[in-house]
A and B are shown apart, each in its own frame.
Chain A
Amino acid sequence: MPAPFSWIRPEPWGIHVVPADAWVDPSRPVERALVTHGHADHARGGHGQTVATPETLAIMELRYRTGTQDEAGDIPHKAVPVEYGETIKLPGDVQATYFPAGHVLGSAQILLEHAGERIVCTGDYKRRADPTCPPFQIVPCDIFITEATFGLPLFTHPPIAEEMAKLLDRLAAHPDRCVLVGAYALGKAQRVIAELRAAGHHDPIYLHGAMEKMCRLYEEHGVDLGELRLVSDHTKDDMRGSVVISPPGALNDRWSRRLPDPITAMASGWMRVRQRARQRNVELPLVISDHADWGELTRTIEEVDPVETWITHGREDALLRWCQLHQRRARALAMVGYEDEDD
């Protein structure tokens, strides 16, 4: 009988599910990829076959032209959609079940089962409510493979309503200006818009051109974002007193010159640290993240209560230390290619 869990091997470029010859979120092209969600560092093109939720497959097609759809729009064998809660059989007697991760639209944790052993790969996740995707689900398992992007005890994301109030207060105080919010184009932007709507802000919101398609995709998947307009279709005067959303990279770009005296804001978990905000010339830091904060990470490990915790990327040193302090078996995987993105 093989040693326990010898069928799963973490490699620097992905997690190898050996009997199925499948890889979770590989950072190089492989024959069969199990993809947790659509962010570039987890979902790459060029795989022989991509197994993911229908939403993630749609996002990958839109963003990376991964060839999961051909010219005519037909889905060839390369794309294998899996709904939340659905189990698919992989070669080598491996089963994969996808559960919501609460990170962005379509994001999933993948439960892998083989020889009576259960392993969960979370990809990226959060525990806070998000109007744009279903909430994270606790999935009991033997090995829990978690992220640790915000894995330091100083990271506590405040309630999002507080951050929205900060944004709307600043907007109201400067009716002749606009608030330009830097937000990652997949997930963060749509969440900020949806939360603004939930906070009672129903004015048109202006978008950088690079955000439009992803917002439309969210709307097609049933997320109501209210009235959205493109910055390029409007004058400075139209945008006074409005919220404008752009990718973080455009915040200090020449592009923002067309806006009415923008107040630069950024929606990111890194904004908890003053110097990080200063480095990006942010005047209004909004601490909003689609990743679990320290409290969520540690609580999740306690609730899942696995035999062993593996940590893929982020501040793995600190989360590993926490596991040691709480007598939990854990190891850090030296994964490459997972970046912090602009969260």
Chain B
Amino acid sequence: MEEFAALIDALVYTRSRNEKLRLIAEYLRATPDPDRGWALAALSDGLDFPAVKSSTIRNLLKDRVDPVLWSLSRDFVGDTAETASLLWPAPDHPPSPPSVGETVELLEAMNRKSVFVELPKLLDRLDPSGRYALLKLATGGMRIGVSSRLAKTAFAQAFDVSVEEVEEYWHGLAPPFAELFAWAADGQAPPDMANLPTFRPFMLAHPLEETVVDLSDYVAEWKWDGIRVQLVRAGDETKLFSRSGDDISATFPELLDVLPFPAVLDGELLVRGSHQGGEANDVTQGGAASFNALQQRLGRKTVSKKMLAEAPAFVRLYDALLIDGEDLRALPWTERRQRLEALMSRLPDTHFDLSRVVEARDFDHLAQIREGSRDDAIEGLMLKRKDSPYIAGRRVGYWYKWKRDPLLVDCVLMYAQRGSGKRSSFYSDYTFGCWDGDPDKGAELLPVGKAYSGFTDEELKKLDRHVRQNTVNRFGPVRETDKSLVFEVAFDSVHESKRHKSGLAMRFPRIHRIRWDKPVHEADRVEALRALVRD
């Protein structure tokens, strides 16, 4: 555990990507199985120990530290694991750190009850750095500036193999990745993936921004506002994966027995229904409901018959990675598209359709079509280079996303909360409101949303100062401000919601501009926002 803790600390304080890669690679080479495999899992996707939650740590500490002092400390540090590692009373015996493997074994053996006895014993065996590493490991997500991709790249670098190959095997294996190390480090045969329904990393797009592309090289498709999914059949099993590679098969059982042959397909998961914004017209290709309708079905572990009948899911296909065991990823987009079109007759149209190609004379014409699209199931356009192979991740020049312009509204800052992680000392999460009538006749502000992005680091410093200097009330980590600052807030759409006092909820709100100049009585009214609701 000491080496792992030292690695975590070194990574926290290292800025350079190359230096991070070097540190991780060096650790993976020097450390035996299974420790290095557990460490790799912790650094990439994170480990999950159901018995240890953030609340477990909080409860453990509240038995040992005054609850008020705990809350004030947690609020200052902005990270539960780190606060606990610092506040844990030092035991009177010297540390006797367990190995990473032993730690994982002990954590796995804990249940929701025994954790309150067993976790303290482990904490008592470690110094503050060790405690930090343990708590980060135990609660998943390290949040130390190492992405899953970086960890895999470091693995590839450590043993001189290609990261693409690592990605290919990764999702078919489980921690501590013994087969992966046996192949990369010890020269044994690569893991056999042929009969496993495993996730292949998605090809992603860059925002188009100021780029203009030539439509003789690029093809346009609608960017559907559902969730990007990968449907995989191998052996006799079908699985559905989300964009991050999470297995969401159980949430959409209707899609698990409709793919009649081995394949890996890329598409947008949508639910049926035109009544919630999906206009069934020729321009867009209708039949899909808005994201708001789909949202009712997300995150469920079991699905009722009523749900299945009211909001049945289907996949609007974008691409094919594998068909009947043949890998198509190296082929140009046009050829993959032909294969996909030919495939449609073999798929039931109740659960699949093909994302239509948007025809345009030229780029300007395409821009007009984008402006004119009113379908709420559309987020914008995708532009794909006709000769692009299917490559994991985001490569410049192949695929672009061109989102519809956001909606804008002027709101007033009401509350601010301290951020966590990198922003732990800053008031960086803002709740803002609109007027419920004429502000000159005594109208009040009603909260309409919350945002914590869209500003630069420089602006964050100014906002933090504004909050500190204009506080009228404090509620734990939240400060109420004197409501003197206007934000121009951008958002993708707005919906009715019973959860908020204003009766409205914005989708993906972010701070578009800070209007230091604008008087608050000129901010928008709730009514103006309500007029933008379209479902």
A residues touching B (Cβ–Cβ < 8 Å)? 152-154, 156, 272-279, 281-285, 315, 317-318, 321-322, 325
Contact = CB atoms under 8 A, between A and B. Distances in A.
A274 B425 contact: no
B422 A318 contact: no
A285 B82 CA distance: 16
Interface string B408-451: 00000000000001101100000000000000000000000000
For the residues of B in contact with A, the DSSP-based class is helix
B73 interface: yes
Contacts of A275: 77-79, 82, 421-422, 424-425
Contact of B12 (A154, A272, A278, A321): A278
A272 B83 CA distance: 11
A313 to B, nearest CB: 13
Contacts of A315: 72, 76
A317 B476 CA distance: 11
B72 A152 contact: yes
B87 interface: yes
A321 B14 contact: no
A283 B66 CA distance: 33
B68 interface: yes
Q: Which of A275, A276, A315 has the most CB of B within 10 A?
A: A275
B178 interface: no
A281 B457 CA distance: 14
Contact of A152 (B14, B69, B78, B145): B69
Interface of B: 9, 12-15, 65-66, 68-69, 72-73, 76-79, 82-83, 86-87, 132, 145, 421-422, 424-425
Given A273-B77, A284-B13, 8 more contacts: A153-B87, A156-B86, A273-B86, A278-B13, A278-B422, A279-B422, A285-B13, A318-B69
A137 B132 CA distance: 36
Nearest to B66: A325
Contact of B87 (A154, A276, A277, A283): A154
B83 A274 contact: no
A148 to B, nearest CB: 11
A276 B14 CA distance: 14
25 contacts: A153-B65, A153-B69, A154-B83, A154-B87, A273-B76, A273-B77, A274-B79, A275-B82, A275-B421, A275-B422, A275-B425, A276-B425, A278-B12, A278-B422, A279-B422, A279-B425, A283-B14, A283-B15, A315-B72, A315-B76, A317-B72, A318-B69, A318-B73, A321-B66, A321-B72
Contacts of B76: 152, 154, 273, 315
A282 to B, nearest CB: 7
Nearest to B86: A154
Contacts of B73: 152-154, 318
A177 to B, nearest CB: 13
Nearest 5 A-B pairs (CB), nearest first?
A154-B86, A275-B424, A318-B72, A283-B13, A321-B68
A322 B12 CA distance: 32
A77 to B, nearest CB: 37
A282 B87 contact: no
B13 A272 contact: no
A126 B421 CA distance: 29
B65 A273 contact: no
Q: Which of A274, A279, A281, A322 has the most CB of B within 10 A?
A: A274
A158 to B, nearest CB: 10
A321 B15 contact: no
Given A154-B77, A154-B87, A274 B69 contact: no
A321 B71 CA distance: 12
A274 B77 CA distance: 9
